Amino acid sequence: MRRRHSTFVRELGPGGLSSLSLAFATGALAAGLPVAWRLREVMRWALVDERRESDAILVLGRELVDDAPTDVFRARLDHGAGLWRDGWAPRIVVSGGWTGTARRSEAEAGREYLLAAGVPEAAIWTEDRSRHTLENLFNVRETLDRHGLGRVLLVSDPLHLARARAFARGLALDLTCSPACSAPPRGGTLAWWTRAAHEAFLLHWYRVGVTYSRAIGSRRLLARVT
């Protein structure tokens, strides 16, 4: 059976367009100040390494290019493997479904990469249903609950951690973060600032979406983010 790939419209989900419109509107009406505030949050958490002994190391996926992990995804996987070797957790969970035009899931590509890096098959779990970060964490929470596991050490590139951490707190996950500092872009470059601004807006959008869902009392929308 052919897998359904992720598209922007599918990822928006119910209420997504409304919350996105509100995020644009509030950002514009406040002269960008809400996004600037979130930018400070993005930059702050990019510098924090909260590594601790955990039940699992969670490496978040990244869209593949030519069915292979990108430099960013490889940096995440390398850091996750290093944490596993240092004994911070007994297993690594690689999360990510079929996105873009890939012919395999991000999780499958990540698993193959970790195996080649010397991580044993028994230590690698995969979650291949998710299309974006929030779904990554939502689905991994189900997997951990099913196995009676709690503490998670999340790995991603530094600029992604503020948003991932906010999602995790919303989902009540017992989670700390460790940045894959070798992941591009290099700090202070135009590409770095562009990515940081993008992450700040996405974080602003998430906060607006949660507030909007609570304001209208929609259990359906809140179930997607909490």
pLDDT band of residue 2 (cuts 50, 70, 90) is very low
Q: What CATH architecture does domain 48-179 belong to?
A: 3-Layer(aba) Sandwich (3.40)
Domain boundaries, the chain: 13-44+188-225, 48-179
pLDDT in tens, 9-35: 455 555 567 778 888 888 887 778 899
pLDDT tens sequence across 98-137 = 988 899 999 999 999 999 999 999 999 999 999 889 989 9
The DSSP-derived string for the chain is -PPPPP-HHHHH-TTHHHHHHHHHHHHHHTTTHHHHHHHHHHHHHTT-------SEEEEEP---BTTB--HHHHHHHHHHHHHHHTTS-S-EEEE----TT-SS-HHHHHHHHHHHTT--GGGEEEE---SSHHHHHHHHHHHHHHTT---EEEEE-GGGHHHHHHHHHHTT--EEEEE-TTPSSPTTSHHHHHHHHHHHHHHHHHHHHHHHHHHTT-HHHHHHH-
